[in-house]
Structure 1
């Protein structure tokens, strides 16, 4: 297991926060289970990045971040703290995944080769 990007460690920490935040902030209702499930998924993608480094997990993290952004309104979170935690965590997950994609040599090489050869 090798850590290639510090963003994966940061994503792991955001995932841990998501798992403990319902208890730390006193969420109730559906927000508890959705936050824990999305947090575990973020943790899973971050750990997967340590074990099998690839740029594909960042796309999964971006989708999870989007789910975190939308969950308060699609599910109807009752607490402002649940909404704020979900939205801020979602923004952070998307930001970290995007940053990692922009700095990942495998992805930038693939992206350049894919679009450079199509143009030519």
Structure 2
């Protein structure tokens, strides 16, 4: 099965959306949330970029972890809508995309 590049591009777009989400929604009073969100978004972009060059399972597993963390982050830091809703949706999309990629590559030899 051939790896689908659109999935990597979609992950990069989601990563950028994660990075800009606090600024886009005008949430600037919580620097911790902004910093953690920027780091998660940058990690999603970096992992998706790596998948374009080197296809490894650990990249998708880390992307899944980033998505799950982003979805639960609003409850850990206790912030309110609309940013909470955006982060739950964006985190779920990242996680679903990572699960899809893991499922598609389940029989692929990724040792090389």
Instruction: Give the alignment's TM-score, normalised by structure 2.
Output: 0.84
Does structure 2 retain, via aligned residues, the 8 Å contact 1:101–1:108?
no
Which residue does 2:99 correspond to in 1?
98
Q: Give the structure with the larger helix fraction.
A: 1
Question: How far off is 1:5 after superposition?
Answer: 3.1
Matched, 1:108 2:110: no
Q: Who wins on radius of gyration, i.e. which is larger?
A: 1
Work out which of the residue numbers 20, 38, 61 in structure 2 matches 1:59: 61
Query: Secondary structure of the equivalent of 1:80?
Result: coil
Matched residues, number: 105
Which 4+ stretches in 1 moved above 3 angstroms? none
Work out which of the residue numbers 39, 42, 47 in structure 1 matches 2:41: 39
Instruction: Give the alignment's TM-score, normalised by structure 1.
Output: 0.79
Which residue does 1:21 correspond to in 2?
21
RMSD value, Cα: 1.6
